[in-house]
Chain A
């Protein structure tokens, strides 16, 4: 009797469980859970929760990046140049912020002023550059001639915020999701904004969980703890991955500042030898199969149009690399590493941007390739972007592994942001290490002032040619794709070339 009672109770419990949870799940749509590489929002007053480096779609910019790297209407429906250097943007009507206030030119002015005070990158937007013409029209006049402004404003960091809002604590934007909760180093959660001006979200909300370790992200997907994994390890093959179109780059930058002990990269012969030791095809084909393409360009070739072919890159030729070093006086020592006048040919490769994991296993491949030509490579892995930037400031490194992305529609964004040393922009930490000077700056200036897209692409390609072919300061390794891991219940996820411009409102769970 006792046994029968227990069995009945067990059956009731099982039945309740069987009926309860799945049916309950079906009636109440579940939040999407995304495993993101880490919490990059920071804690200070400069934090922009939900915007960068993870775009949770709280905010929207004036223009947005299309899948083919062109600016498209977003909060601005159209724009035009008012010579000599003012851009007029006409705002979309009927757009409201999450607090119910309408999108106005004044909100755009407030956002741009805030951004200008913090540093506006290479846009030339300074305090006083933005003026509200009327409620739905805004003029932006950069401090220098900039024909690329609408292409630059697609970047989410230029998204429009509600006037007077505090993006570090309670972000208020116009996007399809509104801020719900943020816990440092744990997660950020957003919920559907029912007053959205466009097609609203199919999801009730999204939780972006910060999981810095890539292996843990993979395991979370397999265990169904998360629905989507961002930055799925490129070297791991898995049927659940989807890849974006080519969107990023993996490069090695070579220090040319000339200060010991990191002065070896100042020797062009060494730079050429390093480039000749790199087997781009092998890296893309055999190591990051499917997630990367071999390319001699830095930014995606599509950004440079027909002019991409002007960049040839240094061909893989270890014999030529050895000959270059031989003729430069570097003799092979007993252990296979070269020396000259008592100095060992030893370089330091700094790995950490945007995180050390994304580069795997390229550093070891480079170590092996360089050892073949007699160069000892020490791998200095730093834990995160902040540590990497700190090291950039000190210049302590010979080679710098960078996995970046084309996050705007400006073909010369990278050369301008990182390698330009002209008077129009405060030199970045990068410029102090890598800028070749006027040979590159003139092409960046020409690109920024180019009236037609074709002219801009031509100048951008020439600037890259200087970096890659003439000066060999940048050694492209691969054109990369964003790799996402998807759970089997995810529908409607279309990976954008730029993960920063990823849209989430069309995603649903089966």
Chain B
């Protein structure tokens, strides 16, 4: 699979972008030249210099440092959101797919109901009701995003639960919990990982978008979407305040999408994965 992955240049590019961004996020406190929240109005809108490579914003904060710490916040939030979404999606999808019957019917009608509401509106409503903030943002995103995972997981579980090795485990006296943990989950996790990598780009956009609307990260958090929002007023006088965070958001989304595409191709069902044609 690794050779298959590395064979595509675009996948390598995506991988490099994601690794670089992850490294920047992990080592932000070493890499950032300044405190990203340090306010110094005297230096507001300073141009690029040896001290401030990308200049400063309207409060004199170092733009490069804010972008670097922004990687930690933006990608960290994506990671947390993905974990929440995967947990909920796996729990519901496994329950519906493995138990079946009434449980499956009830859970899937719930999924259908949520899917029938425009996700952006639902997310905005949830975050708006809970009030702006990172916690609300995570709850809002997890509330609308888990359903697509649940449907995929359910399909994968249904495909696996009738397989011979599952029957064999059952015949040997394995409990349902053991069958799920030891035999079902290992079979679906690669496909879920691909799905997660494909959705991460969208999550970056969603988180940035909600922060841009003032519903996500709050001042002085250097989150990329919030930085975009902060820079709007100065679009004509200091376009770099929007340009830089806009660029890094684009690059991050591009990286996740290229990597996700590569992973999907590498795990194509014709070769390895059962993801295609199941549940979606």
Q: Do A and B bind each other?
A: yes
Q: Is the CB of B233 within 8 A of A381?
A: no
Interface membership of B180, Cβ < 8 A: no
* Docked complex Cα distance between A274 and B58 (Å): 23
Count, A-B residue pairs, CB within 8 A: 51
Give the shortest distance, in Å, between B130 (CB) and chain A (any CB): 13
Supposing A282-B41, A286-B44 touch, asked if A367 and B220 sit within 8 A by C-beta, the answer is yes
The distance from the CB of A409 to the nearest CB of chain B, in whole angstroms, is 34
> Residue A364 at the B interface, CB < 8 A?
yes
Task: Assess the A379–B59 pair: CB atoms within 8 A.
Answer: no
- Which of these binds chain B: A149-157, A230-238, A440-448? A230-238
| Residue of B39, B132, B214 ringed by the most chain A CB atoms within 10 A | B39
Q: Name A364's contact: one of B42, B59, B233, B234 (CB within 8 Å).
A: B59
**Interface status of B219 (Cβ within 8 A of chain A):** yes
CB-based contact A365/B237 at 8 Å: no
> How many Å from the CB of B63 to the closest CB on chain A?
15
Q: Which residue of B lies closest to A213 (CB)?
A: B232
Number of interface residues of A (CB under 8 A): 25
A222 adjacent to B59 (CB under 8 Å): no
Supposing A218-B233, A235-B58, A236-B237 touch, asked if A381 and B41 sit within 8 A by C-beta, the answer is no
Q: Do B58 and A368 touch (CB < 8 A)?
A: no
The reply to whether the CB of B30 lies closer than 8 angstroms to some CB of chain A is: no
**Selected contact of B220 from candidates A218, A283, A364, CB within 8 Å:** A364
B219, A379: Cβ atoms under 8 Å? yes
Q: Is A17 an interface residue (CB 8 A)?
A: no
CB of A507 closer than 8 Å to a CB of B:
no
Q: Which residues of A contact B41 (CB under 8 A)?
A: 282-283, 286-287, 365
Known: A215-B232, A236-B237. A368 touches B42 (CB 8 A): no
Residues of B within 8 A of A363 (CB): 219
- CB-CB contacts below 8 Å: B217-241 with A: 218-220, 232-237
Which chain B residue shows the least CB distance to A282?
B41
Decide yes or no whether A340 CB sits under 8 A from chain B: no
Q: Is the CB of A367 within 8 A of B219?
A: yes
- In contact, A381 and B39 (Cβ under 8 angstroms): no
Chain B, 22-54, CB within 8 A of any chain A CB = 37-39, 41-42, 44
Task: Among B38, B235, B236, point to the contact of A368 (Cβ < 8 A).
Answer: B38
Q: Which residues of B contact A411 (CB under 8 A)?
A: none
Residue of B nearest to A361 (CB): B59
A365 — nearest CB in chain B belongs to which residue?
B39
For residue A360, CB closer than 8 A to chain B, the reply is: yes
Q: Does A214 contact B (CB under 8 A)?
A: yes
| Minimum CB–CB distance for B20 against chain A, Å | 29
Contact call B234/A368, Cβ cutoff below 8 A? no
Question: Which residue from chain A places its CB closest to the CB of B214 in the assembled complex?
Answer: A381
Contacts of A237 in B (CB 8 A): 237
Contact A215 B235 (CB under 8 A): yes
**Distance in Å from the Cβ of A451 to the closest Cβ of chain B?**
46
Question: Least Cβ distance of B267 to chain A in Å?
Answer: 43
Complex Cα gap A283–B39 (Å): 12
With CB as the reference atom, state the residue of chain B lying closest to A285: B41
* Alpha-carbon gap, A369 to B41, bound state (A): 12
Closest chain-A Cβ to B35's Cβ sits at a distance in Å of 10
Query: Which B residues are within 8 Å of any A CB, using their own CB?
Result: 37-39, 41-42, 44, 58-59, 132, 214, 218-220, 232-237
Q: 21 A–B contact pairs at CB < 8 A?
A: A218-B233, A218-B236, A235-B58, A236-B233, A238-B237, A282-B41, A286-B41, A360-B233, A361-B58, A363-B219, A364-B59, A364-B220, A365-B59, A367-B219, A368-B38, A368-B39, A368-B59, A369-B39, A379-B218, A381-B132, A381-B214
The 3 closest A-B pairs by CB, nearest first: A286-B41, A368-B39, A215-B232
